[in-house]
Structure 1
Amino acid sequence: MVYLTILSRYPSDDEMLIANTWCQDAAGTRELAWALINSDEFLFQH
């Protein structure tokens, strides 16, 4: 679970829908991880 690993929380329902479309392959999962790492939530919470 990318959200739990990076943001220390479970994704919301809307985020889960987006994550499911991105995580169809390894490249999409990697892109989602980078997007979460570069998010304001990650920068200001960790």
Structure 2
Amino acid sequence: AELIAEAKLLRQHKGRLEARMQILEDHNKQLESQLHRLRQLLEQ
């Protein structure tokens, strides 16, 4: 029974980590597009 509870906790933890990864990836994309815009402004 203890193993099942542990597996459940690990699954929840994995879900949270995956959600956080998604947030970080989205944030990264936003930063990259901001950087792209800045470079375009500097090139003018």
TM-score class normalised by the smaller sequence: 0.3 to 0.5
Q: Which has the higher helix share?
A: 2
TM-score for both structures, normalised by structure 1: 0.37
Q: With CA pairs under 8 Å and 6+ residues apart, which has the higher RCO, 1 or 2?
A: 1
